[in-house]
Structure 1
Amino acid sequence: MMALLCLMSACLVAAIGISAAKHWRAQAVIVAWRFDESLKAVRAQKPVPPSSNVVPAGQDSSSQLSMLVAEVAARLRAGMPTAEAWMRAWDRVGSAHLGSWEGIAEDGVPRSVARLARAPSWRDVRRDVLGLVRQRDALSWRHLVSSCGRLRRRSTVSERVSRRSAHTLSVACRLTQELGTPLAEVLDIVADSIDEAAAAEDARAIARSGPLTSARILTALPVAGIALGQLIGANPLERFCDGGIGTISAIIGTVCLIVGRLVSTRMITRTIDISEGVDPATMCDLTIAGMNAGASVPSIVRTLGRVGNDAELERIGSELVLGARWGDAWNPHPANAALLADVLEPAWSDGTSPVPLLTRAARQVRARRIAHAKSEAERLAVRLVIPLGALLLPSFIALGVVPILLHIGTNTFGGLW
């Protein structure tokens, strides 16, 4: 009877945890929706108080970078010089959270953006420490705190998304410098791309929250079972050291818990796929911008490879310039350029306009990302059944239930146990 009560208590704890997880997931959806609405308001260029030089807490670097890029584009359309537009927008929006303004390099990329596109290292922290020693002001202290925070979060999803956004912005600035495309138009493309990438990652995080919560609850159940055993006087810790059934149960439960945790964590981590290259949809948009500036297909492809540090794509553009056949030049090709190769082939072979196909392809990629994230989460939930059911549940039984059964058996049958 006591074992049945313990099992019922454990099931009740699990049910409460699942209910709380559903509530948290609903709250996450609401927060994501409100955040999306706020981004739409910013893109609609609603007035912002001049004194608001600090980006609200709760927005990651990608969101800050998106608003910064949109403001630079607006200043450029107002007739402001490029360097001044970047500097004033950075001082107003990005200085407190994205680092100090460091000027624009010869390739047209702001040095601060290039630094954000790199993985954070101790070199950045050391530079900010030296800056704090020289300046001894609040801004230098914020820069140091920002660098330390980026270094601490360098493996997180949000930091990887921010690095990819900064890399996309760097590529767009270099492309503008190479092809002469209007910078304001390209910056609008980049801002939309950053917003869309952040929204897609938020959708993936919400979709992963269900399987992740289930894994966390089942991982915590063995510990809860041990605590429950201690409360009712079963003394599971002593049972684990008895050198008999209790010790065997402890070994089996611990092994199952560790292996189950490692397997489930690896399966969840594999669903987080953030490549370092330019997004295929953004690549299509940049190609359209290059064509509007009068550049040819081979020139755009070669420039995309050169400004994106993609030697394979640069080789493809060079071979097309030399007259190579389309299929031969694109074999092999980078994974993120497969869509571009497929869409540009009719224009190269038959002379059709590539702009409608590029626009449609970019729109389809963005529209399918949310559905793809949801389907990934559903597949993950199915795949997690094996490690959760075959490893974590036996771990709960071995660590939480067996000591209680041994305690009941000892009290009931005495020396037989």
Structure 2
Amino acid sequence: MEARPVEWLRARLPRLAAATTAAEQRSEAAVVAERTAALLRGGVPAARAIALISADAPPASEVGIVGGRVADGVPVPSALAAAAEPEWRVLAVAWRLAEVCGAPLAPALQRIAESLRELDRMRERRSVLLAGPRATVRMVAALPILALLLGLLLGFDPVPVLVGPAGAVIAAVGAGLLGVGVQWSRLLQRRAAREDAIAGLPSELLWVALGGGAPPAVAMRIVVDHVDAFGAEWVPFVGFCSGSPLLATVAAAESAGVPMRPLLLEQAVAERVAAAARLEREAERLGVRVLLPLGVCVLPSFIVLGVLPVVLSMFGAA
């Protein structure tokens, strides 16, 4: 069977690049991992695959910068680890583990790409879940201005009250309550939208290391060493400590005498399902918690800024 030329593969890479620009939240590292795995299966060497992929990327993008480092002679894992986003360091660890342990590189990259895709889905889901509370805060924060406009439409002029002696007190109290309420609500939202991470990465990286045939204890030590060396902050060291799901899975596989790698993948999937469930619960709780700053601060500011000047103008107080 005639081998496919590199030009045939490269001609199809812009399709993936166009798909990348269509999704704002799509991970560049996941795209690189997927495309590299496809090129490796087509017989393209790893360094050449990175060069082909980076040739279609803007020079200032992370992909272009990584390609430039590789072109300058930097090893691919080191070039990936020097990128700004944490997901690149996860990819660098997986790449280096495949090299050190002798595991097939293409399946390892494909697996990490699937994990990063899960992160994209989590980001999208979180954005949908938090859209309701965010819209509620914006709507309630606009109520004082709407109340003033409504008073003007009804024929009451609250402007003399606001510019008079009592206006400074009303404005200070109302603005203070509104500012506190909005900032309180935003703090609750930021806690719900905590820093991105991928659950189950320790299990998947150990799955990569075991692909070369290393004993589990040796493979785990290699994984920990490279996580530390590349500074992969999304891979918590507690995941390798006693009592972690990873060690429980390893112990269960060894005691039962069954293949360990499939169990590791199942454990990683289970951890991601649990993380998605936690995201759902936290979003639902946020919808209730956000009512506290709205009721304590924002609604009183609506009364002070929007209702009180109209009422005073009705009685002729200036």
Normalising by structure 2, we get a TM-score of: 0.81
- Matched residue of 2:315: which SS? helix
Aligned residue number for residue 296 of structure 1 = 215
- Counterpart contact for 1:222–1:397, Cα < 8 Å: yes
Aligned residue number for residue 238 of structure 2 = 334
Aligned letter for 2:290?
A: L
State the alpha-carbon separation in 2 of the partners of residues 218 and 175 from structure 1: 52
**Structure 1 spans left out of the alignment, 5+ residues:** 1-46, 119-162, 314-331
* 1:181 and 2:103 aligned: yes
Identical aligned residues as a percent: 27
Compute the displacement of 1:367 (Å): 2.7
Q: Equivalences for 1:127-276 in 2 at 5 Å?
A: 163-232=85-154, 234-244=156-166, 246-274=167-195
Compute the displacement of 1:235 (Å): 4.0
Aligned letter for 2:30?
A: S
Give a deviation string over 1:331-361, Cα, whole Å, max 9, x none: x952586332332233466765433431221
- Matched residue of 2:228: which SS? coil
Compute the displacement of 1:67 (Å): 2.5
Aligned residue number for residue 14 of structure 1 = none
In structure 2, do the counterparts of structure 1 residues 177 and 382 end up closer, same or farther at CA, with 3 Å as the change threshold? same
Aligned letter for 1:87?
A: A
- Counterpart contact for 1:181–1:290, Cα < 8 Å: yes
State the alpha-carbon separation in 1 of the partners of residues 186 and 26 from structure 2: 26
- Matched residue of 1:102: which SS? helix
State the alpha-carbon separation in 2 of the partners of residues 61 and 253 from structure 1: 38
* 1:66 and 2:30 aligned: yes
In structure 2, do the counterparts of structure 1 residues 241 and 311 end up closer, same or farther at CA, with 3 Å as the change threshold? same
State the alpha-carbon separation in 2 of the partners of residues 352 and 272 from structure 1: 39
Residues paired across the two proteins, number: 300
State the alpha-carbon separation in 2 of the partners of residues 51 and 190 from structure 1: 22
- Counterpart contact for 1:114–1:170, Cα < 8 Å: yes
Compute the displacement of 1:293 (Å): 1.1
Which residue of 297, 300, 309 corresponds with 2:228? 309
Aligned letter for 1:379?
A: R
- Counterpart contact for 2:126–2:279, Cα < 8 Å: yes
- Counterpart contact for 2:207–2:264, Cα < 8 Å: yes
* 1:88 and 2:10 aligned: no
- Counterpart contact for 1:250–1:399, Cα < 8 Å: yes
**Structure 2 spans left out of the alignment, 5+ residues:** 1-9
**Higher RCO (C-alpha 8 Å, min separation 6):** 2
- Matched residue of 2:194: which SS? coil
State the alpha-carbon separation in 2 of the partners of residues 62 and 306 from structure 1: 29
State the alpha-carbon separation in 2 of the partners of residues 48 and 341 from structure 1: 45
- Counterpart contact for 1:234–1:403, Cα < 8 Å: no
- Counterpart contact for 2:253–2:263, Cα < 8 Å: no
Aligned letter for 1:80?
A: V
Give a deviation string over 1:91-138, Cα, whole Å, max 9, x none: 135657433422436654162x3343x2xxxxxxxxxxxxxxxxxxxx
State the alpha-carbon separation in 1 of the partners of residues 182 and 28 from structure 2: 35
- Counterpart contact for 1:67–1:191, Cα < 8 Å: yes
- Counterpart contact for 2:239–2:246, Cα < 8 Å: no
- Matched residue of 1:55: which SS? helix
* 1:285 and 2:204 aligned: yes
Q: Equivalences for 1:366-405 in 2 at 5 Å?
A: 366-405=272-311
Give a deviation string over 1:250-290, Cα, whole Å, max 9, x none: 222111101101110000000122256xx342321221222
